[in-house]
């Protein structure tokens, strides 16, 4: 199955089992907006819980807030979003399709990177055990040629973006001979800038109305509350403020399902530090965030850092954590050293001091900030795409299983009476009632037991508890494990412990703190 087929199947599966629906579907949908169904909402909540508790509960010096989506419009002037939150767009005159100029170039670079990978594979086959990948990359003429090409494109792209030279960006697209994926032609318009913020009118009369914006990131709600939280929480630097919430961007290229949406959710944490110490904290948060991802057990090889060469105007270091999605390695989280840009500007624009008095050094200063910013929806897509499997079983049957990490699985266990008679349903409900205060459970008595297992596999339920006639005699049940499909006979009194061991965040958190 190609990665593209896998992705299509995943989208269909997400809909079929109540994870994700197109928004406003009965009106033919709204582009790049999605609704979460009964299981998607649970999965998303579990992801947010994993993030929130890892930030706020495990770190004594991080607190969480919930700021409003509507904010004073001056905030977006101070943050630079009104002036500079633009994407460079370009249209193909034949297909009438619109693209982000930088994305077209990045996709072109990714294709060259694939060529390098192919060369490396050839080398690996040729030299077998003697293969030294690093040396091969340094010396193979084809690889060197591809690498130089990438470096040249990246340099030209960064310099065009940094100097806002849209003509140079277009020239680069022409020089790379990039064609429109739909029409196949190079008939491009000029590159233009496009602001990504949604604006709306606030106020009851047209004359008195103010133009305000739907926030394009949650971070500014944290910056403008910096002093409120620092003072009321008696926070001492270094400390962090976390929040999760909706953000809105009028994305030009809204493709790839929930990867790029116009309404989405973020989980952001701003960590305030002494000026001069920011790069040390930047490294620390890079390590911590990568660990948070890898502890979910989805394969270390699926993650990598992508350090930014082109830095935003406010940053002095930045990296992305990228994950191997079915459409390639793509950003799931950004970690940025934002200097004192945001607080400094809010101080300037609001006229209010946003300084911290450091009792250890006896100085007042505007703190520097390290930001970690991850999309909840992208993280949901990451989990679903890593979890989706079509497996061939020993008995010749096939199953679709979502190997969602048990801590994040929407339904933790299903209780299944083997038959719909002989008191088995009543016994099963009794077990269910005892467990449902602690875990999200399902009860299912319809169809054969095999079919019921398949239904639970398809939604990623880690445990099925089967109640049979033996249960009535000796108070034992069968616990069936999703991934191994192994069945274990245990006393009812043991079920809680077995499930807790797998679905509680405790084990992961203990490792994250190490
Ligand atoms: P991209 O380069 O993909 O547009 P970005 O660098 O603009 O992303 P940030 O502004 O750093 O993204 O936002 C932080 C995180 O928010 C991203 O890593 C991503 O997980 C999420 N995010 C950003 N834009 C979107 C979107 N349109 N839809 C879904 N998630 C998003």
Characterise 100 by phi-psi region: left (phi > 0), alpha (psi -120 to 50), beta (else).
beta
Shared domain for 152 and 219, answered yes or no, is: no
Within-domain flag for 406: no
Shared domain for 164 and 267, answered yes or no, is: no
Closest CA to ligand 1's atom 31: 375
Shared domain for 381 and 269, answered yes or no, is: yes
Within-domain flag for 400: no
Task: Report d(CA 77, CA 345) in Å as an integer.
Answer: 9
Q: What is the 376 CA–ligand 1 centroid distance (Å)? A: 10
pLDDT, residue 254, reads 66
3-state secondary structure 59-74: CCCEEECCCCCECCCH
Shared domain for 203 and 331, answered yes or no, is: yes
pLDDT, residue 33, reads 95
pLDDT, residue 208, reads 65
Shared domain for 124 and 149, answered yes or no, is: yes
Site to probe by mutation for ligand 1, drawn from 258, 318, 331 as the one with most ligand atoms within 8 Å of Cβ, is: 331
Burial class (CB in 10 A: 0-12, 13-18, 19+), 95: middle
CA angle 162, 379, 182 (to 5 degrees): 60
Closest CA to ligand 1's atom 13: 373
Closest CA to ligand 1's atom 23: 375
Shared domain for 213 and 345, answered yes or no, is: yes
Within-domain flag for 471: yes
Q: What is the 240 CA–ligand 1 centroid distance (Å)? A: 21
User: Which domain CATH number covers 47?
Assistant: 3.30.930.10
Q: What is the 375 CA–ligand 1 centroid distance (Å)? A: 6
Within-domain flag for 81: no
Shared domain for 239 and 152, answered yes or no, is: no
* Tens of pLDDT, residues 327-348: 899 999 999 999 999 999 999 9
Shared domain for 386 and 422, answered yes or no, is: no
Last residue of a domain, one of 363, 392, 421: 392
User: Which domain CATH number covers 136?
Assistant: 3.30.40.230
Shared domain for 200 and 55, answered yes or no, is: yes
Count structural domains, the chain: 3
Helix-, strand-, coil-residue percentages of the chain, each rounded to 5: 45, 25, 30
What's the chain's average pLDDT? 94
Residue 268, φ and ψ in degrees, nearest 5: -125, 145
Closest CA to ligand 1's atom 26: 260
Atom of ligand 1 nearest to the CA of 373: 14
Atom of ligand 1 nearest to the CA of 376: 20
Last residue of a domain, one of 195, 216, 240: 195
Site to probe by mutation for ligand 1, drawn from 264, 303, 333, 382 as the one with most ligand atoms within 8 Å of Cβ, is: 264
* Tens of pLDDT, residues 132-157: 888 988 999 999 999 999 999 999 99
Residue 417, φ and ψ in degrees, nearest 5: -75, 135
Average pLDDT of span 221-242: 97
Q: Is the pLDDT of residue 255 over 90?
A: no
Shared domain for 239 and 179, answered yes or no, is: no
Classify 258 as helix, strand or coil.
helix
Q: pLDDT tier at 267 (50, 70, 90 boundaries)?
A: very high
| Structural domain span for residue 501 | 411-512
Within-domain flag for 405: no
* Tens of pLDDT, residues 158-207: 889 888 899 999 999 999 999 999 999 999 999 999 889 999 998 876 66
Residues near ligand 1 (Cβ within 6 A): 217, 249, 251, 260-261, 264, 266, 331-334, 373-375, 377-378
Closest CA to ligand 1's atom 11: 334
Last residue of a domain, one of 180, 195, 210: 195
Site to probe by mutation for ligand 1, drawn from 378, 380, 383 as the one with most ligand atoms within 8 Å of Cβ, is: 378
pTM (two decimals): 0.88
């Amino acid at each position: 199955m190609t990665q593209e087929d896998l992705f299509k199947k995943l989208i269909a599966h997400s809909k079929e089992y109540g994870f994700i629906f197109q928004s406003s579907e009965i009106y033919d949908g709204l582009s790049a907006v999605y609704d979460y169904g009964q299981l998607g909402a649970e999965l998303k909540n579990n992801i947010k819980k994993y993030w929130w508790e890892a930030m706020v509960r495990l770190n004594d010096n991080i607190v969480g807030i919930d700021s409003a989506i509507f904010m004073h419009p001056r905030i977006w002037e101070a943050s630079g979003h009104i002036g500079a939150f633009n994407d460079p767009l370009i249209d193909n005159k034949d297909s009438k399709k619109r693209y982000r100029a930088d994305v077209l170039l990045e996709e072109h670079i990714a294709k060259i990177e694939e060529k390098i990978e192919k060369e490396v594979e050839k080398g690996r086959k040729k030299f077998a055990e003697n293969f030294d990948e690093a040396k091969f990359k340094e010396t193979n003429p084809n690889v060197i040629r591809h690498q130089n090409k990438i470096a040249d494109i990246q340099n030209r792209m960064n310099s065009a973006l940094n100097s806002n030279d849209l003509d140079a960006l277009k020239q680069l697209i022409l020089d790379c001979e990039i064609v429109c994926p739909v029409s196949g032609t190079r008939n491009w318009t000029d590159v233009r800038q496009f602001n990504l913020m949604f604006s709306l009118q606030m106020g009851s009369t047209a004359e008195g109305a103010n133009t305000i914006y739907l926030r394009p990131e949650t971070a500014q709600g944290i910056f403008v509350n910096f002093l409120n939280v620092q003072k009321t929480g008696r926070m001492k630097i270094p400390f962090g403020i976390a929040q999760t919430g909706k953000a809105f961007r009028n994305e030009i290229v809204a493709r790839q399902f929930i990867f790029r949406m116009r309404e989405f959710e973020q989980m952001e944490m701003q960590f305030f530090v002494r000026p001069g110490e920011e790069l040390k904290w930047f490294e620390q948060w890079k390590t911590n965030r990568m660990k948070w991802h890898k502890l979910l057990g989805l394969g270390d090889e699926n993650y990598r850092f992508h350090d930014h060469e082109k830095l935003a105007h406010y940053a002095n270091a930045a990296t992305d954590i990228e994950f191997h999605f079915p459409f390639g390695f793509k950003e799931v989280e950004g970690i940025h050293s934002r200097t004192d840009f945001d607080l400094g500007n809010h101080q300037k624009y609001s006229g209010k001091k946003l300084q911290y008095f450091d009792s250890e050094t006896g100085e007042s200063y505007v703190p520097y900030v390290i930001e970690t910013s991850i999309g909840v929806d992208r993280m949901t897509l990451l989990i679903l795409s890593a979890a989706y499997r079509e497996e061939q079983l020993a008995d010749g049957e096939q199953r679709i299983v979502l190997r969602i990490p048990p801590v994040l699985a929407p339904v933790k266990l299903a209780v299944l009476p083997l038959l719909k008679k002989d008191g088995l349903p009543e016994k099963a409900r009794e077990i269910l009632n005892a467990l449902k205060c602690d875990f999200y459970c399902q009860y299912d008595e319809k169809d054969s037991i095999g079919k019921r297992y398949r239904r639970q596999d398809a939604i990623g339920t880690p445990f099925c508890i089967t109640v049979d006639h033996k249960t009535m005699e000796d108070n034992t049940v069968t616990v069936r494990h999703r991934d191994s499909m192994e069945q274990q006979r245990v006393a009812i009194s043991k079920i809680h412990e077995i499930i807790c061991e797998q679905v509680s965040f405790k084990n992961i958190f203990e490792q994250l703190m190490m």
